[in-house]
Amino acid sequence: MASPTDQLTDEALRTLRRVFGYDTFRGNQREIIDQVIGGGDALVLMPTGGGKSLCYQIPALVRDGVGVVISPLIALMQDQVDALTTLGVRAGFLNSTQDLDARRRVESAFLAGELDLLYLAPEALRTGSTVALLDRGDIALFAIDEAHCVSQWGHDFRPDYLALSMLHERWPTVPRIALTATATSATRAEIASRLKLEDARHFVASFDRPNIQYRIVPKREPRKQLLDLLRTEHPGDAGIVYCLSRASVDKTAEFLTQNGIPALPYHAGLDAVTRATNQKRFLREDGLVMVATIAFGMGIDKPDVRFVAHLDLPKSVEGYYQETGRAGRDGLPSTAWLAYGLQDVVQQRKMIDSSEGDLAHRRGLAAHLDAMLALCETVQCRRVQLLAYFGERATPCGNCDTCLSPPESWDGTVAAQKLLSTVLRLHRERNQKFGAGQSIDILLGRKTDKVSQYGHDSLTVFGVGTELSEADWRAVVRQLLAQGLLAVEGDYGTLVLTESSRDVLSRQRQVTMRREPTRTASGSRTPTS
């Protein structure tokens, strides 16, 4: 005879078919759904597009009571509720954007047991009235969406998420399911401890997105490189271009539009109406390019985003993975393209040094940046390196730039010694610190005004590096930074030695470097006509 749990899980399959119109569960959806229906807690890590929503929607429909979903995506709640309503699911939301009438209606539906799902903004749980409301209703489960928002290291940190540990204290018998597309084991551990999900079963799906082609190219003229990429490989395609600053977003959107590529800007400096309009247009119209800061994208479900381009270095591998993950949700080939240069490193170090927070916090940020740099400068498969960061092992993918046109590696030990000893001499002999530009000018033997002014042409290293070009030297600096053999600090991005620099200077350590294969500016292998 079937046990009561079996019957319930069959109910899950029937619900999948009847309500959502799908035949079978995907990946580990089935196990997750069984766990929650059975009353257990779950921590779910699944890449974007993996199908997280069903993991709480189906248990909410199968179990008695209302499934309460905590989500930071207030702007998308209406859309989510509308989509569920068309499927015949009884859903509502409570957040600060709605008027009193709408709120009352949702509240009474909740109390009358006439809702299957109730979406709440995290801040709602800070108000006594919402907590009191929940106390009076029958709750099937709590789903905590975008659970990485509880992580103080991540760029999506929301202080209100910290208070969600109260769910367990107040409603100890209600199962909780936390979901995120952020994948490191550190983030996972942080979510579990902060949300008091120590006893939750963990469900970790593979984070590989095989249809996304990863490419990272040296930044020269980023907007032109981007244009080249879009014209040669993505004409008429929808995509997202991420920039660090609002000003750069505006400029880039304008530049693309002037060059015949329809583009819209999105950043926190635009008024709410413009932002909402641009977002809607991007979702509904074909072939639009959204140029945005990272304020854009969480929860955006547009299946046919064909490319995600970064004109500036993301702050962490997690950020990079999340942002690039918005490409190709439909499973079709898509491009993740990043242009990065030395200036990015200098700028980000500066931001870290001047950021609020204690030393531990700044160290955390610096470690994130270092991992991102290591991904940029790797000589191995990007996907292997990316998945390794998330604790997954993989074999070379054949669908990233290093697999498609392997960079040569070269013995950069002598170059590294020259560069490091320039930094050392400036410091030891002159008690000075400079940025990369000055050291490179010295190595190339250039008598610039600044070189003459400081008498740097009398250093023994002056002119000893003419075998490499300026671009080569910049690549050397980037790679030394990525390998932790050099560091930048301060407002001017001055170069300083690290503990490990000495090993290179004393010839105890060899340095292998990546030589960029000859490619077009956008990194495509088909030359522009």
Q: Which does 59 bind (CB under 5 to 8 A by kind): Zn ion, ligand ADP, none?
A: none
Minimum Å gap between C-beta 426 and ligand ADP is 50
Select the residue whose beta carbon is closest to ligand ADP and give its number. Answer: 51
Enumerate the β-bridge partners of residue 486. Answer: 497
Minimum Å gap between C-beta 401 and Zn ion is 8
**Which is nearer to ligand ADP, 40 or 49 (by Cβ)?**
49
**Which is nearer to ligand ADP, 50 or 412 (by Cβ)?**
50
**Which is nearer to ligand ADP, 89 or 426 (by Cβ)?**
89
Minimum Å gap between C-beta 294 and ligand ADP is 17
Residue in 46, 16, 55, 30 with CA at minimum distance from that of residue 177 = 55
Q: Give me the DSSP letters along 385-411.
A: HHHHHTT------SSBHHHHSPPEEEE
Minimum Å gap between C-beta 514 and Zn ion is 14
Total residues contacting Zn ion by CB under 5 A comes to 5
Q: What angle do CA 424, 427, 432 make, to 5 degrees?
A: 140
Q: Which does 383 bind (CB under 5 to 8 A by kind): ligand ADP, Zn ion, none?
A: Zn ion
Part of the chain binding Zn ion (CB under 5 A), chosen from 44-52, 157-165, 403-411, 521-529: 403-411
Residue in 368, 375, 372, 370 with CA at minimum distance from that of residue 402 = 375
| 195-234 positions binding Zn ion, by CB under 5 A | none
**Which is nearer to ligand ADP, 26 or 281 (by Cβ)?**
26
- Which residues, at least 6 apart from 298, have a Cβ–Cβ distance to it below 8 Å? 72, 73, 146, 156, 322
- Rounded CA separation 394/376 (Å): 18
**Which is nearer to ligand ADP, 46 or 149 (by Cβ)?**
46
Which is it for the CA torsion 147, 152, 158, 162, positive or negative? positive
Helices H / strands E in the chain, number of each = 22, 17
The residue from 383, 418, 456, 478 that contacts Zn ion (CB under 5 A) is 383
Is residue 403 a contact residue for Zn ion (CB under 5 A)? yes
Residue in 298, 175, 186 with CA at minimum distance from that of residue 242 = 298
> Does residue 31 sit in helix, strand or coil?
helix
**Which is nearer to ligand ADP, 201 or 519 (by Cβ)?**
201
Is residue 120 a contact residue for Zn ion (CB under 5 A)? no
Residue 26 corresponds to which tokens in the numbers above? Answer: 């995907």
Q: Which does 475 bind (CB under 5 to 8 A by kind): ligand ADP, Zn ion, none?
A: none
**Which is nearer to Zn ion, 174 or 400 (by Cβ)?**
400
- Rounded CA separation 373/387 (Å): 15
- Determine contact, residues 402/213, Cβ cutoff 8 Å: no
**Which is nearer to ligand ADP, 13 or 371 (by Cβ)?**
13
Dihedral, CA of residue 468, residue 474, residue 475 and residue 477, to nearest 10: 110
The residue from 66, 192, 241, 397 that contacts Zn ion (CB under 5 A) is 397
Is residue 400 a contact residue for Zn ion (CB under 5 A)? yes
Minimum Å gap between C-beta 441 and ligand ADP is 49
Q: Which does 22 bind (CB under 5 to 8 A by kind): ligand ADP, Zn ion, none?
A: ligand ADP
Minimum Å gap between C-beta 52 and ligand ADP is 3
Is residue 387 a contact residue for Zn ion (CB under 5 A)? no
Minimum Å gap between C-beta 201 and ligand ADP is 18
- Rounded CA separation 480/472 (Å): 12
Q: Which does 400 bind (CB under 5 to 8 A by kind): ligand ADP, Zn ion, none?
A: Zn ion
Q: Which does 49 bind (CB under 5 to 8 A by kind): ligand ADP, Zn ion, none?
A: ligand ADP
- Determine contact, residues 106/94, Cβ cutoff 8 Å: yes
Minimum Å gap between C-beta 345 and Zn ion is 24
Minimum Å gap between C-beta 525 and ligand ADP is 31
- Rounded CA separation 442/461 (Å): 7
**Which is nearer to ligand ADP, 297 or 437 (by Cβ)?**
297
Q: How far is CA 142 from the centre of its chain?
A: 25
Q: Count CA atoms closer than 13 A to 14's CA, side-chain side.
A: 8
> Does residue 80 sit in helix, strand or coil?
helix
- Determine contact, residues 153/190, Cβ cutoff 8 Å: yes
- Determine contact, residues 127/94, Cβ cutoff 8 Å: no
Longest dimension (CA), the chain: 91
- Rounded CA separation 24/12 (Å): 11
Q: Which does 428 bind (CB under 5 to 8 A by kind): ligand ADP, Zn ion, none?
A: none
Which is it for the CA torsion 128, 133, 136, 139, positive or negative? negative
Measure Cα distances from 63 to 11, 15, 66, 292 in Å: 10, 12, 8, 40
- Rounded CA separation 354/10 (Å): 56
**Which is nearer to ligand ADP, 26 or 126 (by Cβ)?**
26
Part of the chain binding Zn ion (CB under 5 A), chosen from 106-114, 363-371, 379-387, 437-445: 379-387
Minimum Å gap between C-beta 290 and ligand ADP is 18
Minimum Å gap between C-beta 199 and ligand ADP is 24
Rounded (10°) angle between helices 436-443 and 470-482: 130
Residues that bind ligand ADP (CB under 6 A): 22, 25-26, 29, 46, 48-54, 301
**Which is nearer to ligand ADP, 53 or 479 (by Cβ)?**
53
Minimum Å gap between C-beta 387 and ligand ADP is 18
Minimum Å gap between C-beta 523 and ligand ADP is 28
**Which is nearer to ligand ADP, 57 or 421 (by Cβ)?**
57
**Which is nearer to Zn ion, 143 or 397 (by Cβ)?**
397
Q: Which residues bind Zn ion (CB under 5 A)?
A: 381, 383, 397, 400, 403
